[in-house]
Amino acid sequence: MSDQIKIEKPSAEPYKGKRKLYCIPLLYTEKEAQSDYLEMISQYWDQVEEHVSKMEKAGKVIKIYHEAIYSAGEDGMSELEKLNEESYKLVKSKCEEGAELQSLEDKDLFYEFMDWRRCMIIPFNSEKVFSKVLEFYRDTSKRRYEHIAKRIAETLEEGETGMLIMNEEDRSNIQFLSDIEIFIVHPPALADIQHWIREQLKIGKET
């Protein structure tokens, strides 16, 4: 697995000619959410855009990959606009600068993955049934991660820089090729959001 580097202002020289991937944790905006959470989410995406712009000193984003998107170009942009308004704005901005949105997911495999993930949320009375569901979920997850790694490896050319927007837990399970330099984008607002969520969970348990 390639080394993962948390960096804001990479020096361009060590990464010249190498394939690079800027990895951004995908956070969703929920319209029914509390106003302070929505404000933090908006701040998060502003900081992501700022950090990516700084990181582009090491390589300008040419290819864009986004979780749950299985079409390229305009079709993919239409899918993304319905999926997540904030990440859509970031991707649109980069595409206007010359980047291209790639298809990332295998549609059938992604839907299979999501169905098994939903099943994992259901409380089970039978340990046997739970074990079976867990087995199917893990198998589907593994095949999905392998597909994503292969898709990026096949489309990100030598010397090119890509941007991957994806759930951080899922992204951490992907085995990227060792010749792809991985940069993790973790702006300060992410820590604030994670702290806020932990506090809300604590309050929920106390009530």
94/61 Cα distance (integer angstroms): 7
Q: What is the pLDDT of residue 8?
A: 47
Placement of tokens 């309050």 in the chain:
203
Q: Identify whether 51 is part of a domain.
A: yes
- Counting as low any pLDDT under 70, the low residues of the chain are 1-13, 31-33, 204-207
For the chain, how far is it from start to end, CA to CA, in angstroms? 43
Q: Do residues 95 and 101 make contact, with C-beta atoms less than 8 angstroms apart?
A: yes
The reply to whether 113 falls in a domain is: no
- Cβ-based neighbours of 99, under 8 Å, separated by 6 or more: 61, 62, 63, 64, 91, 163
Residue with tokens 């330099």: 181
Residue 90 covered by a domain: yes
Q: Does any domain span residue 111?
A: no
Q: How far apart are CA 144 and CA 138, in angstroms?
A: 10
Cα 107 from Cα 200, distance rounded (Å): 34
Tell me, yes or no, whether 75 lies in a domain: yes
| Continuous H helices in 99-156 | 107-121, 127-155
pLDDT (0 to 100) of residue 7: 46
Q: Residue 28: its pLDDT value, please?
A: 86
Count of structural domains, the chain = 1
Domain of residue 28: give its range: 4-104+159-206
Beta-strand pair 61-66/161-166: parallel
For the beta carbon of residue 105, count every other beta carbon within 10 angstroms.
21
C-alpha 187, offset from chain centre: 14
Does a structural domain hold residue 148?
A: no
Q: Tens digit of pLDDT for each residue in 108-141?
A: 999 999 999 999 999 999 999 999 999 999 999 9
Tokens of 72: 């390229």
List 65's β-bridge partners, or say none: 164
CA angle 128, 132, 134 (to 5 degrees): 115
**What burial class does residue 152 get, using C-beta atoms within 10 Å of its C-beta: 0-12 exposed, 13-18 middle, 19+ buried?**
buried
Q: Is residue 131 part of a domain?
A: no
Is the residue at 78 inside a domain? yes
